[in-house]
Amino acid sequence: MMLAVPDLLDKEGVARVRAVIDAGEWIDGNATSGHQSALAKHNRQLAEESAAAREAARLVLDALGRSPLFIAGALPLKIFPPLFNRYGVGETFGTHVDNAVRIHRSSEFRVRSDLSATLFLEEPDAYEGGELVVEDNLGVHAAKLPAGHLLLYPASSLHRVEPVTRGERLASFFWVQSMVRDDAARTILFDLDRSIQAIAAAQGHDDREVIRLTGIYHNLLRRWADT
């Protein structure tokens, strides 16, 4: 399942993150690459252990915790500390698959990468190219979202960032280990949750069918979740 989370950061939130990262130390993006990715990756990355990276990651994590849509779609168990990258003219990231397990080098904190996430931090009309392209069983999907919008997609998918031809593309990226490992099961739970919320808005949260469906949701989550 691919899921767009609109306005994870509002304009103020984007400005706060940008003020922090724009003043930070940017290094070769291959600092965190595996062997396969290093062959395809040409960009810059905010130094992972820098004060700017830690502060900006905190701002993004706080926003994730306030987003019911992100929580419903990802069912997060662990989130890798958000990282930040930028692509100038001619920079790109060729087709690749993310590593199955991501390890934070300073703490040995690790996550199984069930979901990849890209949080766009530049408006789409400020640069040309730079689309995030994700390939799945339903085809090829290109995304270039407004600043502050997040895209979630299975980490197992082939994906790439198209070359930038004008301006700069800035984003945060990270990985999520979900309580529910299976993408199809997560999709069922997400669809059921959205239906429950719609019925509750129309009928009230104390409606008997809302209560029954909520019970079904939690019984499925209980069956599938790792905690």
Torsion of CA 42, 91, 14, 183, to 10 degrees: -60
B/e letters for 14-38, b = 16+ CB within 10 Å, e = fewer, are beebbebbeebebeebbebbeeebe
> 57: pLDDT confidence band, cut at 50, 70 and 90?
very high
Instruction: Return the pLDDT at 162.
Output: 98
Could you report the per-residue pLDDT of 122-161, keeping only the tens digit for each? 999 999 999 999 998 889 999 999 999 999 999 999 999 9
Q: What share of the chain is helix, strand, coil (3-state, %, to 5)?
A: 35, 30, 30
- The sign of the CA dihedral 131, 193, 136, 97 is positive
Which fold does the domain 3-178 belong to in CATH?
A: Jelly Rolls (2.60.120)
Structure tokens at 118: 């890209």
pLDDT tier at 53, thresholds 50, 70, 90: very high
Residue 37 has pLDDT above 80, yes or no: no
Question: Under a CB-based contact definition with an 8 Å cutoff, are residues 128 and 105 in contact?
Answer: no
Domain residue limits, the chain: 3-178, 183-224
Q: Which of 121, 103, 119 is nearest to 111 (CA)?
A: 103
97-112 confidence digits (pLDDT tens)? 999 999 987 788 999 9
CATH of 183-224, one of 2.60.40, 4.10.860, 1.10.1660, 3.10.450: 4.10.860
User: Does 170 score more than 60 pLDDT?
Assistant: yes
pLDDT above 70 for 36 = no
- Helix then strand count (H, E) for the chain reads 6, 17
* pLDDT at 82 > cutoff 70: yes
80, 104 contact by CB (below 8 A): yes
